[in-house]
Amino acid sequence: MEKSNFGRRLLRVFRSDGLYAALFLIPSLAGVALFFFLPFGIGFYYSLVDTPIDGKLVGFRNYIDLLSNKSFKRALWNSFLFTALCVPINMILSLLLATLLNGKVYGQRWFRLAFISPLVIPVASVVLIWQIFFERNGTLNGWLEAWGMAPVDWLDSGSALYIAILIYIWKNVGYNMLLFLAGLQNVPEHLYEAARIDGAGKWRQWRSITIIYLTPTTFFVFIMSIINSFKVFRETYMLAGPYPHQSLYMLQHFMNNMFQQLDYQKMTSAAFLMASAIVVMVLVLFGVERRFSRWL
Amino acid sequence: MASLIALSACSSGANTPASGSSNNGTSGEQNSGGNESGSKVITVSVVTSNRFLELAKEKYEAANPGVKIELKQSYVPPQQQAGSMTMYAFGYDPVAVEKHVATVNAELMNGNASDLIMVDTLAYAKYADKKLLANLQAYMNKEKGFNEEDYYMNIFDALKYKDGLYAIAPNVVTNQWFGNTDRIKDLKLDPNSWTWAQFSEKLGELAKKGGDPIMGYTPPEMLLSDRIGENLEQYINWNEKKAGFDTPEFIALLNEIKAYFDNKIIQEPQQTAGGVGKAIKMGESMKMKEAFINLKLQRFDSLNFGQMVFEKPELFVPPTEDGSKGSSFTAGMLLAMNEKSKNKDGAWDFLQFLLSEEMQTAPDLGGLPVNKKAAESQIDAMTKAGENPLTPELAEKAKEIVPKMQRFGGIEPKINDIVKEETALFFKGEKSAEDVVKSLQNKVTLYMEE
């Protein structure tokens, strides 16, 4: 009696979805644990010791040292400036493009394709083209000289930051445009109809219907843009190397160089500061979004 | 954690066949601590092996049965070159350097690093800051069998970093100049002390007259790195983490070096310039017409080089900024000890063996000896050499060379790269000195403040 009761309970466990869900989750959980949580934990440990091997725990000394490190502060400011500049530009441009391509435009499909193509081109080959264009002896300077102007070392002057922004926009505007397009197509058509009947103009429709319905998409695009803005390092590193012009020196340059120099303390504490800043920011944004959508 | 261990095992496994193929007789024993049978292994990580270290390994193992020296090459060039010593003069293969940095970094991180590490291509000062390298000063005393009297301690003093000594040079390399008396006798230059200003002025006058070339070709970046090395602390101040490249002095220096080429004091080598291709007999002069030739002196018998190229040669110390300071030197190799090594005393014993008279007199040393007796006996032997003896005056001067060295002129590899890259644009005439200096200063500052 006792036994069959137990067996039945076991059977119920087997039949329920929870067990199967867990079973199917194991591979990906193991993967995440091995490749994400474990390195994360080891990295955190490195940020608390004084030397990578047999180090003593020094608490938050590495973080305090880091905050007084001039190169780190420069990298922090550059990364912040870069993100603050390129995210709004990127969002406005991609929204504009999405709005334009949402209506009936001649060659609409080809335009969409053209804007998305930067996503599928391998970075290394594109960087080569950018390099040829902006090099000291590159295409752009060739044109300038042909017009009788003095050549500029674009990547080694204040313009370097704008080049990085340009590359970022080029790379990301298509993706964000796609997200916005999807959002635009989800706006119920009858709302526009009702608004038109009530006599709302194009601008009023856009402001009161389109923007409101795009809010969730906008939040998503915003977060993705911020995260992608941190990824521009790959392009800048390939363009200008580990020690680029000072305006182009990002947090990842700092971390990458620290890795090369075996300074795991600075590297991991910088990584953790950056990760926690991003997490806090994302949490705040999600909180705002939740409140906003409830109001909607 | 398991995956990390697997990775590290993998990387050290990959190195075993590499060092084995250079027939160093790798035992396959990877632990630096030694194995059960009582025989100890001292591992040495090198960029590429060289004959000096191979000879040292051979002799040391013969003298100390039960101890094995394992030279771990980070990179084996596709074709093994017989004369690996020639690689010193031209630096290492960049691929090998990159591999060496990656290998040593990985090994240091997983705690498997060699007992001794060749650090001339690494930013070893930064490693020392991270307590990854041992302070060798603790070993340089009588208890550890080290007698300061035997060595040119000025070399080790010059290599100190923040009151510690983290790398030692088994040999030193310095510049020496040979003057062609026929051409410079009217210039009234003091061979023991002269300045760059005199060099530029007097030889500039000579160049204006035209005729034969003034100096053997030296590339501008080499002149520049020598000059930076001469005043290293002015340009690279680690204590205050300050770079000094955006100064009027450095701009003047850049312009000065460029002027040597503009004024034809130094010219690109021409096919017709000299009899370099001509075969000469020992002791016979090539009768070259240049007023000066400079040479990175790696062995004392190269002092005879002057007699080979000029009819009436005169040995000059390199010019300096103010004509008074002692000379600067670089090292053919720098060796450091792993702070986490389990066999520090053994490693130190081998290091000290490299500094011993026996090893320091080896022809393959790759630089001038830092052991006093070795230097003196070498010079004395050369004065008695059969074919081409060193003259007593030259021998006297030769004995002065190493003790006069006061400044280590080795520029940190990363900074050296940045300097080379940035100033190349200036020497090519593509950028103004002011622009170059600004971006150079910014980049080096970024590096130093990191």
CATH number at residue B6: 3.40.190.10
Q: Which residues of B touch A137 (CB under 8 A)?
A: 430
pLDDT of residue B271: 54
Q: Name every chain B residue with its beta carbon within 8 A of the beta carbon of A159.
A: none
Rounded to the nearest 5°, which phi and psi values hold at B246? Answer: -95, 35
Domain shared by B246 and B185, yes or no? yes
Q: What is the mean pLDDT of chain A?
A: 87
What is B305-362 written as a DSSP string?
HHHHH-SSEEEEPPPBSSS-SPEEEEES--EEEBTT-S-HHHHHHHHHHHTSHHHHT-
Q: Considering the domain boundaries, does residue A55 fall inside one?
A: no
Residue A41 lies in a domain: no
Classify residue B429 as left (phi > 0), alpha (psi -120 to 50) or beta. Answer: left
- Residue B408 exposure: Cα atoms within 13 Å on the Cβ side: 24
A217 belongs to a structural domain: yes
A164: in domain: yes
Q: Which residue of B has its CA nearest to A254?
A: B450
Co-location of B47 and B178 in the same domain: no
* Chain A: closest CA distance from residue B127 (Å): 7
Look at A260 and B430 and tell me if their CB atoms are within 8 Å.
no
- CB distance B30 to B20 below 8 Å: no
Identify which of A38, A54, A156 has the shortest CB distance to residue B340.
A54
Do B11 and B91 have their domain in common?
yes
User: Could you tell me if B310 and B338 lie in one domain?
Assistant: no
Confirm whether B37 is domain-assigned. Answer: yes
B132-162 pLDDT tens trace: 899 999 898 877 788 888 899 999 998 988 8
Return d(Cα B305, Cα B283) in angstroms, integer. 10
Structural domain including A255 reads 68-295
**Of B318, B352, B370, which marks where a domain is finished?**
B370
Residue A265 has pLDDT above 50, yes or no: yes
Tell me which residue of B298, B310, B285, B282 sits closest to B178, measured CA to CA: B310
Q: How far apart are CA A168 and CA A295, in angstroms?
A: 34
Structural domain includes residue A167: yes
DSSP B176-218: EEEEEHHHHGGG---TTS-BHHHHHHHHHHHHHT-SS-SB---
From chain B, which residues contact A within 8 Å (Cβ)?
Answer: 1, 3-4, 101, 105, 108-109, 111, 123, 126-127, 130-132, 241, 340, 418, 425, 430-431, 435, 439, 442-443, 445-447, 449-450
Same domain membership, residue B115 and residue B219: no
Query: What residues of B are in contact with residue A53 (Cβ under 8 Å)?
Result: 108-109, 111, 132, 340
The pLDDT score that the predictor gives to residue B325 is 65
Q: Is B446–A74 a contact, with Cβ atoms under 8 angstroms apart?
A: yes
Chain A residues with CB-CB distance to B132 below 8 A: 51-53, 262
Contacts of B241 in chain A (CB under 8 A): 70
The residues, any chain, with a CB within 8 Å of residue B50's CB and separated by 6 or more, are: B84, B85, B87, B88, B333, B364, B366
Locate the chain A residue with the closest alpha carbon to B443. Answer: A243
Say how far apart CA A226 and CA A247 lie, in whole Å. Answer: 19
Residue in B112, B444, B446 to test binding to A, most A beta-carbons within 10 Å:
B446
Residues in chain A within 8 Å Cβ distance of B435: 153
Q: Which of A34, A71, A265 faces B3 most closely, judged by CB atoms?
A: A34
B233: which 2 tokens?
């602390």
Is A162 or B387 the better-scoring residue by pLDDT?
A: A162
The answer to whether the CB atoms of A136 and B430 lie below 8 A apart is yes
* Residue B202 is assigned to a structural domain of this protein: yes
Full residue range of the structural domain in which residue B97 is found: 2-170+332-370
HSE (side-chain half, CA atoms, 13 Å) at A52:
28
Q: Which portions of chain B are predicted below pLDDT 50? A: 1-37, 80-90, 272-275
**Distance in angstroms between the alpha carbons of the first and the last residue of chain B:** 29
Q: Which two tokens stand for residue A220?
A: 């998503």
**CA of A126, closest CA in chain B: separation in Å?**
24
Rounded-to-integer distance, Cα A249 and Cα A82, Å: 10
If interface means Cβ-Cβ distance under 8 Å, which residues of chain A face chain B? 34, 38, 42, 50-54, 69-72, 74, 136-137, 153, 156, 243, 245-246, 249, 254, 257-258, 260-266
Nearest beta carbon to residue B439 from set A69, A245, A249: A245
CA distances from residue B194 to B294, B320, B323, B329, B398 in whole angstroms, order as listed: 14, 6, 5, 17, 18
Residues B197 and B287 in one domain: yes
The amino acid present at A25, given as its one-letter code, is L
**Residue A10, C-beta contacts closer than 8 angstroms, at least 6 positions apart:** none
Q: Is the pLDDT assigned to residue A68 strictly greater than 60?
A: yes
pLDDT at B227: 87
Q: How, if at all, do strands B171-180 and B313-316 pair?
A: antiparallel
Whether A62 is in a domain gets the answer: no
B351 in the same domain as B299 = no
From the number of C-beta atoms within 10 Å of its C-beta (0-12, 13-18, 19+), residue B199 rates as buried
Whether residue B198 sits in one domain with residue B84: no
Write down the pLDDT at residue B250. 92
Q: Are B263 and B155 in contact (CB under 8 A)?
A: no
- Between these two residues, A90 and B209, which has the higher pLDDT value? A90
Q: How far apart are CA B264 and CA A278, in angstroms?
A: 59
Phi, psi of B81 (to 5 degrees): -90, 140
Question: Strand order of the sheet with strand B40-46?
Answer: B67-73, B40-46, B116-118, B335-337
**Shared domain check, B127 and B113:** yes
* Residues of chain A neighbouring B1 (CB-CB closer than 8 A): 38
Tell me whether residue B386 is in a domain.
Answer: no
Nearest CA in chain B to A40: B1
Among candidates A257, A239, A253, which has minimal Cα distance to A154? A239
Q: How far is B433 from chain A (nearest CA, A)?
A: 14
How much is the pLDDT for A176? 92
Q: List helix spans (H) across A151-263.
A: 160-185, 189-197, 202-205, 211-230, 233-240, 251-260
Give the residue from chain A lying closest to B445, CA to CA. A71
Q: Is residue A36 a part of any domain in this protein? A: no
B118 and B189 part of one domain: no
Count of the separate structural domains present in chain A: 1
Q: A262, B105: Cβ pair inside 8 Å?
A: yes
User: Which residue is listed with tokens 């020392």?
Assistant: B128
pLDDT at A246 over 90: no
Residue B105 lies in a domain: yes
The answer to whether the CB of B132 falls within 8 A of the CB of B300 is no
Query: In this predicted model, what pLDDT tens digit does every residue of A192-210 receive, in sequence order?
Result: 889 889 888 888 888 888 8
Query: How many domains are contained in chain B?
Result: 2
- Vertex B231: Cα angle to B225 and B234 (nearest 5): 115
Of the pLDDT bands very low, low, confident and very high (cuts 50, 70, 90), residue A180 is: very high
**CA-CA distance, B36 to B39, in Å (whole number)?**
8
Whether A126 maps to a domain, the answer reads yes
B7 in a structural domain = yes
φ and ψ at residue A239, rounded to 5 degrees: -75, -45
Q: In this structure, is residue B186 part of a structural domain?
A: yes
CATH of residue A146's domain is 1.10.3720.10
Asked if B117 and B178 sit in the same domain, the reply is: no
- Helix ranges (DSSP H) in chain A: 2-15, 17-32, 38-46, 61-67, 70-102, 108-116, 123-134, 139-146, 160-185, 189-197, 202-205, 211-230, 233-240, 251-260, 264-295
Does the beta-carbon distance from A261 to B449 stay under 8 Å? no
Is the whole-model pTM more than 0.80?
no
Contact (CB, 8 A) for A135 and A195: no
Q: What is the b/e burial string over A106-130, where b = at least 16 CB atoms within 10 angstroms of the residue's CB?
A: eeeeeebeebeebeeeeeeebbeeb
